Structure 1
Amino acid sequence: MSEGKKMTSSRRLQLKSLMLQIATKRLEEEKKEVAAAKEAYIIENCPPPDLSGDMAALTEFCKKLHIAIDKIDEGRYDIEAKVQKINKEVRDKQQANCFKL
């Protein structure tokens, strides 16, 4: 049988350095893509508010904004409660399984 050639430590270090450089570039590109996607989503779904109206119009806008924020907070709270409940069930099942062993 013939043995394969061993890689020298300097060559291994060079390849590792090259791989790290490539990975760093890919991470930077991915961060840029994510930022661009967020920006595009905001532009598409969140048009700038029209604040050129009188005081009554601005007050009405603020009321609508508060209602929307309250709905989002209620949804967030409901989701957090569900996640906590599921996490508790998972922990309880894990503990029950540990006691069976």
Structure 2
Amino acid sequence: MATEKRLSARRKHQLKSCMLVVANNLLEAEATEKVGERERFLSDKCPTLDLPHSGNELRELCQKLHEQLDMSEEERYSLEFKLNMVVSEVRDLNIKIVDMRGKFKRPRLKKVRMSADAMLKALLGSKHTVNMDLRANLKQVKKEVKEEDKQLRDVGDWRKNIEDKSDRKKMFDS
């Protein structure tokens, strides 16, 4: 095994603090870059407003602003429509993929210890009282034993009748 030098706790702490300082500087630079980008975007899209003093110039400015507003609304509407189309297409494709796989995620069912009476009571509500003792509702039937069945059961030992059967065999052999 090669012996590796381990860093001391002081050196680890110093490296962590240096990494935190560098990360903090990167975050600050990123934040200032975002602010500058936002300023540039706003200056491009919203130029400084020069308010004219005459009525005709104000009307022209209002008409110009209305036209810009209409154009931006049309762009927003078209982008929103395209987005909805793409979202619905993605949803349809996901459904097709699931259908092609033929596998559906089955939820894991929890084991519930409940008697049949309690389950029926939960399903039907507390008003309905159902008794699941099905044997209590059955009729009592007496079993009649036929004499033929008795004779079949009382056939007895096969060795007793062996001599009778041996005579029959001799008849068939001759």
Which structure's residues are more often helix, by fraction? 1
CA-to-partner distance for each residue in 1:15-63, whole Å, 9 max, x for gaps? Answer: 2332222112111112212322433454466442221331221122012
- CA gap 1:44/1:94 in 2 versus in 1, 3 angstroms: closer
Letter in 1 for 2:80: E
**TM-score when scaled to structure 2?**
0.49
Write the mapping of 1:82-93 to structure 2, written as runs, cut at 5 A: 82-93=82-93
- Asked which structure has the greater CA Rg, the reply is 2
Write the mapping of 1:2-81 to structure 2, written as runs, cut at 5 A: 2-8=2-8, 11-43=11-43, 46-81=46-81
**TM-score when scaled to structure 1?**
0.76
Unaligned runs of 5+ residues in structure 2 are: 102-174
- CA gap 1:41/1:76 in 2 versus in 1, 3 angstroms: closer
Residue 58 of structure 2 aligns to a residue whose secondary structure is helix
State the partner residue of 1:94. Answer: 94
Which protein, 1 or 2, shows the higher relative CO under an 8 Å CA cutoff with sep ≥ 6? 1
Unaligned runs of 5+ residues in structure 1 are: none
Percent identity, aligned pairs only? 35
Count of aligned positions: 101
